[in-house]
Amino acid sequence: MSASMREYGYVGPADIRAEVVRADTAGRPIRSAADFATWVETRKHDEPFTYVVGLDGVLRLAPRRSEHVACAGGERVLGAGEIAFGIEAGAWAVVEVGNQSTGYCPEPGSWPAVAAALARIGVAHPEGFTHEFVFRRCPECGERNVVKEGDFVCACCEAELPADWNFG
């Protein structure tokens, strides 16, 4: 992976991390087209999956309602969100992918790590996130926020949110 890719540590509630991170909750590493085929063929496809991209650049998948920190085995990541697959031109492809993870709050700039992990396993994908989220921590109350429509105001205390990502 490129040295310029940001690493994201878990920023969600400590009690969730303590409750869900176990060996049996870690996401399935998808290192090859064969791994992907085995994973996707045995799953329901009517909803997205939870994904993370580990620091090793490997895509890890888990059922949608899995916590990202569990999928990552509690480790730092290069990307996290939800992803959906479908058949396009006779082959599996990403039909939706986003960076929605309030546990890691990854920036939209995490896309290159996600794209590289998908390219490594040979799965066609869009040129960027189909659903892009901007996260900021409130400097006043500490709450994690999703910035909506460019309005950098805390949803809890109405304090101004910083323009730059501030979870590191």
Cα separation, 154 vs 158, in Å, equals: 4
Query: How much is the pTM?
Result: 0.93
Task: Flag whether pLDDT at 80 surpasses 70.
Answer: yes
Residue 148, H or E segment: none
Range from 42-46, 48-52, 91-95, 97-101 carrying the lowest mean pLDDT: 42-46
**Residue 145 — very low, low, confident or very high, per pLDDT cuts 50/70/90?**
very high
Q: What is the pLDDT of residues 8-37, one digit of tens each?
A: 999 999 999 999 999 888 999 999 999 998
Structural contact between residues 136 and 166, judged by C-beta atoms closer than 8 angstroms: yes
**Residue 130 — very low, low, confident or very high, per pLDDT cuts 50/70/90?**
very high
**pLDDT, mean over the chain:** 93
| Dihedral angle sign, alpha carbons of residues 38, 44, 47, 49 | negative
The whole-number pLDDT of residue 17 equals 95
Cα separation, 71 vs 61, in Å, equals: 7
Q: What would the mean pLDDT of 96-120 be, rounded to a whole number?
A: 97
Q: In what order do the strands lie in the sheet with 49-54?
A: 28-30, 59-63, 49-54, 77-88, 91-97
Structural contact between residues 83 and 51, judged by C-beta atoms closer than 8 angstroms: yes
Q: What is the CA radius of gyration of the chain?
A: 16
Q: Which tokens is 117 given?
A: 């992990």
The whole-number pLDDT of residue 59 equals 98
Task: Flag whether pLDDT at 78 surpasses 70.
Answer: yes
Q: What is the pLDDT of residues 41-56, one digit of tens each?
A: 887 667 899 999 999 9
Q: What would the mean pLDDT of 148-160 be, rounded to a whole number?
A: 97
- Which residue, chain included where needed, has tokens 């896309």? 111
pLDDT above 70: percentage of residues in the chain: 96
Structural contact between residues 69 and 16, judged by C-beta atoms closer than 8 angstroms: yes
